[in-house]
Amino acid sequence: MEEFEEELKKLNKYDRTNIISKIWFCWMCPYFVKGWKKEVDEDDIYRHRRKHGSELLGNKLDAAWKCEIKNNKKPSLLRVLVKLFLGEVCLIYILICIAESLRMLQPMLMSRLLSYYDNNATEGNKNEAYMYAVLIVSVLFISVPCLHFFQMNVLQVGLKLRIACCALIYRKALKLNKAALGEVTIGQMINLLSNDVSRFDSCLQELHHLWVGPLETVIVMYLTYYYMGYSALAGPLFLLCFVPFQSYLGKLISKFRLRIALRTDQRVRLMNEVITGIQVIKMYTWEAAFAKAVDLARGKEMKSIRSASYIRAINVSCALILNRVAIYLCILAYVLTGNVLTSSYVYTMTTYFRLLNSVSMFFPRAVTTAFEVYVSIKRIQNFLLYEEIEPRAVEAPKITDDEKSCIGIYLKDVSVRWRNDSSDYTLENITIEAVPRRLTVIVGSVGSGKTTLLHVILRELYPVEGTANIVGAVSYASQEPWLFGASVRQNILFGQKFNKAKYDEVIRVCALERDFELLSHGDHTLIGERGVSLSGGQRARINLARAVYKVSLLQRHQQWYFFDI
């Protein structure tokens, strides 16, 4: 019971509170009180909402993406994201419509209130002034919570977008085949998971300005004309003249964003190659040459970053300056047309132009954000379209008596290459037939394609031409031993059922009996980062034993062993 109550306390309170508490953020008060009394640590933080779980969001996006690939010749990740989250976003945007509508009422109410001080005050005018003052406060009382509630919810949708895309990228990385891994580097994947998906966090906060900005501009222009005449249109028209220019700057920034991403990928790929081959570089004293190559790659990247920063600075400067100039032009036109300047006119005009910030500042920023998000989505989409390994069951299917005669490896006129954009074949016109009860050994010089052939048999590399049929269970021992943090026995079993007779036989044929005698706890000894360190030979023998044990429980006529030496 105590454990249940403890788990209940850790649940996110947002899902268990009413709408008033959500709008006014009352559900956070206990957390603030706790932070006032003591230093907050990780145990005091609520768990994430169930709707924000990586598994749930990843499954939804994964299913939608598979359906998109199946039903469309040209799949679009943007279309998938719109289908999944458009309804939720539209509901949230109702809040911003309410907030912006109430904000447009403020200048009219302010004008009515200030007119009380410009005219001769009477008792009736005084009551009206009180009424307008109460209305101004009421508008703020409603619009401000709506605005902040909108910001919190739209940030949560952006968070869900990022989590779902991260989960999909991670799953895709685990399923890439060898040809795709030859084109994609770890640095590119990290770049996708850090830079590209981070655009989703705040994009929805700004994208609504793409339609709110023009709509507000039209309404404000009409209201200013209705209340103040033609002179009030000078400022909005001046701002509209610069909208195409600022949109063009946003498009330029998106082009530089794509160029920066490509050059960052090139630099990261070069650095990975340098780190991988650092011993050879040091041995041949090539440090200066490779340092120059890295400096050149970084220089090209910084050149693009610098150009994008200059354009972004011009865009922001225009947004800050144009709004002030527009107010000045309105006041100048109002005075030149023979009108008397009053406090009511100045304050009302200033308030209206605060609303036009969506045109002078936020609209260009929204255009830039839209282009940047589109570029990021296209980069993620290109990654998701790489070829995958063929999904196979963990347990090999049982072979019927009629199929026993077909067991074997049959390659006919197989041609493969590691990179799809390469015209040269790694292996060309290979024909092999390996049948049971016959030892088949593949020999050749270094780099002749022995490992490539094994990858074809394992279906991790697909033939560009020819056919490859493999009938029976396959067990593979890689050239580089791989062990995980657990006992030696768990590394050998690798999830298979324990059969003592077969296990002892595998230990004998793999020459692990002497190794078990040397280990303090035999095959129950923990290995890995927190366990005992093993020699290279011991690691290789355990790796071999895992491959042998995997198929040792199957029928002998289904066994196929592959050793990459």
Residue 398: is its pLDDT beyond 70? no
CB atoms within 10 A of CB 347: 15
The answer to whether 350 touches 232, Cβ cutoff 8 Å, is no
Residue 558 has pLDDT above 50, yes or no: no
The string of pLDDT tens digits covering residues 62-88 is 999 999 999 988 999 999 999 999 999
Question: pLDDT category, 565, cuts 50, 70, 90?
Answer: low
Q: For residue 428, how many other CB atoms are within 10 A of its CB?
A: 15
Residue 156: is its pLDDT beyond 50? yes
524 within 8 A of 493, measured Cβ to Cβ: no
Q: What is the mean pLDDT of residues 258-271?
A: 86
Is residue 395 very low, low, confident or very high in pLDDT (cuts 50, 70, 90)? very low
Percent of the chain with pLDDT over 90: 23
Which residues, 6+ apart, have CB-to-CB distance to 98 below 8 Å? 142, 143, 146
Domain segments of the chain: what residues?
A: 2-47, 55-384, 401-472, 486-563
Phi and psi angles of residue 78, each rounded to the nearest 5 degrees, phi first: -60, -40
Give a three-class secondary structure readout of 141-190.
HHHHHHHHHHHHHHHHHHHHHHHHHHHHHHHHHHHECHHHHHHCCHHHHH
Q: Cα-atom radius of gyration of the chain, to the nearest Å?
A: 34
Cα 81 to Cα 77: distance, rounded to the nearest angstrom: 6
pLDDT at 508 over 80: yes
Q: How far apart are CA 231 and CA 217, in angstroms?
A: 16
pLDDT at 489: 93
State in words which class domain 55-384 has. mainly alpha
pLDDT at residue 9 greater than cutoff 50: yes
The CATH class given to the 401-472 domain equals alpha beta
The per-residue pLDDT of the chain, averaged, comes to 83
| Residue 497 and residue 553 in contact, taking contact as beta carbons nearer than 8 Å | yes
Q: What is the pLDDT of residues 340-369, one digit of tens each?
A: 888 778 888 888 887 776 667 787 788 888
Task: For residue 195, give Cα distances in angstroms to 261, 264, 314.
Answer: 9, 11, 23
Q: What is the pLDDT of residues 173-231, one digit of tens each?
A: 998 887 788 788 887 888 899 888 988 988 888 888 888 888 888 888 888 888 778 88
Provide mean pLDDT across the span 397-405: 54
CA distance 213 to 246: 13
In the structure, what pLDDT confidence band is assigned to residue 393 with cuts at 50, 70 and 90? very low
* pLDDT, mean of residues 508-514: 92
pLDDT in tens, 367-382: 888 888 998 999 999 9
Q: Which residue has the tokens 């790489």?
A: 386
Q: Region 132-150: what's the mean pLDDT? A: 90
pLDDT value at residue 555: 47
Q: Output the pLDDT for position 318.
A: 81
